[in-house]
Structure 1
Amino acid sequence: MHLVSNMAYVGEIPWHGLGNQLSPKQPIEVWARQAGLDWTIESADVRFVASSTSGSPNNIGSIHAFPEQRVLYRSDTKAPLSVVSSRYQVVQPREILEFYRDLTEVGGFELETAGVLKDGKKLWALARTGQSVSLKGRDEVNGYLLLATACDGTLATTAQFTSVRVVCNNTLAIALGDSAGCVKVPHRSQFDAQAVKRQLGIAISSWDGFMVRMKALVERKVSDAAAEAFFQRVLTYPASTGLPAPATNDSAIKAAHALYAGRGKGATLPSASGTAWGLVNSITEFVDHQRRARSDDHRRDAAWFGAGATLKQRAWDEAMKLVA
């Protein structure tokens, strides 16, 4: 079963083949309709039926309220989404798209995908920033800004710069070292789109810094022994994950090494072959496309927001040590 409930996209057909294809530069209103984001999250009191004490089967008992909690549900289908505390601040589907209105109308950004996961529990939009670099003339990487939220407690509202390497459609969060590339707004706080944009800096400077680092990775040649050591470091899971001792994932190391050694998309490009950039991209491709998961959707969810994103960050951090 697909986690994707609704989606709209511009350009290439996405990883799962689902969604409504739009022509470029559509207004936000069209995106809302086609991406399935044209509804609101409503809330209601939690009520429960206390069982009757008389023992009579016809006596259904009394209805009571539980004021500390609210039920969130969809305005269109009335489908329940979650039960949250009364202090929970909802971010509406429309707010996800509205975040991009000024960016697309005057900032040169262009929405590329938006949609609904898990029947409305998770919502996202992804826009190209217009920033791009071509490494060694042939390896193109584009800048994106992702905004996602969830109303089931699994994700704070997250705005994050990310990059996509065209040759393999891999996503790598733009690692800035100072976390300026990601802003998380917990649901106990009000989501203020303009404040988030100020915090992100929606800045050229973040992309420039990322580009400098990417180019350094491209120039850093790596020996076979150094490559092997890199994969061991990235794919050895620490003892703190409930395991008594650090665990090396041998099958993952083998798979990532094969991608690096030529099997990966773009692995033979001059920018990636035998370089630290190639090491990073082998982990990214492994996480985005090959890591064991219940489905492609679950893998994508983890690659953007979960354990996969953590692995990609670890690969980036280890690669940066090679060029330090």
Structure 2
Amino acid sequence: MHLVQSMAYVNETPWHGLGNQLAANQPLEVWAQQAGMNWRIEETEVRFVSGSVGSSLGSIHAFPEQKVLYRSDTKQPLSVVSSKYQVVQPESILEFYRDLVDVGGYELETAGVLKNGKKLWALAKTGQSVTLKGRDRVNGYLLLATACDGTLATTAQFTSVRVVCNNTLAIALGDSTGAVKVPHRSQFDAQAVKRQLGIAISSWDGFMARMKALSECKVNDTAAEAFFRRVLTYQATGGNTALAATNDSAVKAVQELFAGRGKGADMASASGTAWGLLNSVTEFVDHHRRARSDDNRRDSAWFSTGATLKQKAWDEALRLVV
């Protein structure tokens, strides 16, 4: 089952082969229609029925501290949230990119709806790219996503995509996690978020330098296995004690990707290097890690445990560069 309700894209077919393909440089209004984002999130206070017996309907009461969010087109309920919850509309996700596309050289690449409208996203190519050792190309992107089911603050995230394997990796902004997050108790101010992201435009240069350093850093098999075990060891709770446990099947899978099974693993930039180690983990998370569906895996790779695992791999890889 696909979590993707609807989406639109330009260029290559996305990860699951679904969606409406658009020609380049389409207006945002076309994107909204083709991505299934041309509806609004409506809200109404929660009401409940008390004292109903058999076919006799009881009295209806309001619960003013809570409200129901629902789709304007299908009336499908999306979530029950606090009355203080600030909604971010589907059109606001696309509108965020208007000036970036018009004057900033950005190009929208995918946009769509997950989980019947509970999660919304758009992804644009920034125009920044680097080619490692002559043929290993990595492009810069800006992802904006929100959710109305309590699972995600509105998040603007610079990310990179390695072309040969479509692996994604968050670009860290200084010492932060690389994302600007606006909780739903606050009003989403697109221009304020872009001002915060301004520091990230220049962060591409630092990210690029680190990628190059990783591609120059040679590692042997012993160092590779130690790296994978550090990344794929997690805290498991047994009784009252936190235990360190290693996911041995995952270690074996990433070792095989690193040894040659991974896409682009034979490139000079990745073969036997720290960049290769990192991309073995990112490919595992993005394409091979066990998940209920491809879309669950993508959701995790962008927003959840998969993203955390890739960040851990990035941090560990940088420690190898002396």
Is TM > 0.5 for Structure 1 vs Structure 2? Answer: yes
Separation in 1, partners of 2:238, 2:296? 20
Amino acid at match of 2:72: S
The answer to whether the 8 Å contact 2:274/2:320 transfers is yes
Match of 1:165 among 162, 165, 168: 162
SS at match of 2:285: helix
Q: Which residue of 2 aligns with 1:155?
A: 152
Separation in 1, partners of 2:237, 2:32? 42
Q: CA deviation at 1:177?
A: 4.1
The answer to whether the 8 Å contact 1:7/1:35 transfers is yes
Q: Where in structure 2 are the equivalents of 1:88-237 lying within 5 Å?
A: 88-179=85-176, 181-201=178-198, 203-237=200-234
Q: Which residue of 1 aligns with 2:257?
A: 259
Amino acid at match of 1:3: L
The answer to whether the 8 Å contact 1:181/1:206 transfers is no
Q: CA deviation at 1:179?
A: 1.8
Q: Which residue of 2 aligns with 1:274?
A: 272
The answer to whether the 8 Å contact 1:175/1:316 transfers is no
Q: CA deviation at 1:203?
A: 4.3
Match of 1:76 among 73, 77, 80: 73
Residues 58 and 294 (structure 1 numbering): CA distance in 2 closer, same or farther, change over 3 Å?
closer
Q: Matched residue pairs, number?
A: 321
SS at match of 2:165: coil
Q: CA deviation at 1:58?
A: 4.0
- Structure 1 residues 195-250: Cα deviation after superposition (integer angstroms, max 9, x where no partner): 00000116431110100000000010001111010000000112469974111000
Residues 27 and 224 (structure 1 numbering): CA distance in 2 closer, same or farther, change over 3 Å?
same
The answer to whether the 8 Å contact 1:159/1:183 transfers is yes
| 2:41 pairs with 1:44 | no
Separation in 2, partners of 1:47, 1:321? 55
Percent identity of equivalent pairs: 79
| TM-score, with length taken from structure 1 | 0.97
Separation in 1, partners of 2:299, 2:55? 47
- Structure 1 residues 36-79: Cα deviation after superposition (integer angstroms, max 9, x where no partner): 11000000110001024xx5x34211000000000000000000
Q: CA deviation at 1:323?
A: 0.9
Residues 194 and 231 (structure 1 numbering): CA distance in 2 closer, same or farther, change over 3 Å?
same
Q: Which runs of 5+ in 2 are unaligned?
A: none
Question: Aligned Cα RMSD in Å?
Answer: 1.4
SS at match of 2:121: strand
Q: Which residue of 1 aligns with 2:298?
A: 300
The answer to whether the 8 Å contact 1:181/1:200 transfers is no
| TM-score, with length taken from structure 2 | 0.97
Separation in 1, partners of 2:97, 2:194? 10
Q: Which runs of 5+ in 1 are unaligned?
A: none
Match of 1:287 among 269, 285, 294: 285
